[in-house]
Amino acid sequence: MSAAEVADDDLDRLLEIVLERYQYDFRQYARTSVRRRVQRALEAMRLVSVDEIVATLDRDPRRFTELLGYLTVQVTSMFRDPPFWAALRSKVLPYLATYPSPRIWSAGVGTGEEAYSLAILLDEAGLLDRSIVYATDIEPAALAAATAGIYSLKKMREYGESYAAAGGAGSLADHYTAAYGGAVLSPRLRKAVVFSDHSLSTDSVFAEVQLIVCRNVFIYFERPLQARVLQLFADGLSRGGYLALGSKEIVLPSFVPDVFTEVDRDARIYRRKGG
């Protein structure tokens, strides 16, 4: 039996249950996207309705981890969109180099490829040993995979092409070894990245940082949540710090001229005023 189309009332009810029981708030995520993910969860979990999802969670709360994996978006790769990384290298790293201990926040990292891309960029600029990358997401399984820092060799070969196009200083293979049937990122990279749970929709600022990278996240948020997260980022950035969203993201809303100046239109890189 195939899953029924998820009605608005059922979707609202499910999202309220997810918030009340598990403290994950998807209510201001883009409606069409959330509905599509719930539909995918129904099919993958072999259920036909939201009622069955709720009944399944009642019987076995541990299955929420499975549901959460479908509600979140975990599409990521290393050095995706090479011009973005080239822009970071030329326009932002010189600023980070002026700090004795640069701090970077990579938000919505999924399985970690983007956070490690940042670490490689810092390493090749001679900044890694004095920097820290805070990498956050809401999905525990993704964070566990990210912390392990092991990726398939096939993917790493593909990432190598993006790394080279982004202006990599050597070979991506310089940053990993083949082991455990995959590519294990170097201990230096893994030591520099701290993975932790953080929700952009409910949590507050946890540190002052000089750079925030958040790509392919805003497109899944409704306008009120976009505004909330932008304010969160503004509060978390040091004066003169940079916000990098990437070419696929929104252009910042009208309040931005009061808070940010545009650095690179194509890469959606902005600078916090006051530096």
- Residue-wise DSSP of 32-98: HHHHHHHHHHHHHTT--SHHHHHHHHHH-GGGHHHHHHHHS-----TT-SHHHHHHHHHHTHHHHTT
| pLDDT value, residue 223 | 86
- Count Cβ atoms below 10 Å from residue 133 Cβ, excluding itself: 27
| pLDDT value, residue 250 | 67
Distance CA 203, CA 218 (A): 16
| pLDDT value, residue 24 | 92
pLDDT tens digit sequence for 6-55: 899 999 999 999 999 999 999 999 899 999 999 999 999 999 999 999 99
Count the alpha carbons within 13 Å of 65 in the hemisphere toward its beta carbon. Answer: 7
Residue 204 parent element (H or E) = none
Confirm if 99 and 62 have CB atoms less than 8 A apart.
Answer: no
Distance CA 113, CA 145 (A): 10
Distance CA 253, CA 175 (A): 38
- Helix (H, G, I), strand (E, B), or coil: what is residue 260? strand
Spans of the chain, pLDDT less than 50: 1
Residue 228 sits at the vertex; the CA angle it makes with 223 and 234, to the nearest 5 degrees, is 125
Residue 161 parent element (H or E) = helix 153-165
Name all domains of the chain by residue range, CATH numbers in brackets.
Answer: 8-71 (no CATH), 82-272 (3.40.50.150)
Phi-psi region of 219 (alpha: psi -120 to 50; beta: other; left: phi over 0): alpha
| pLDDT value, residue 76 | 83
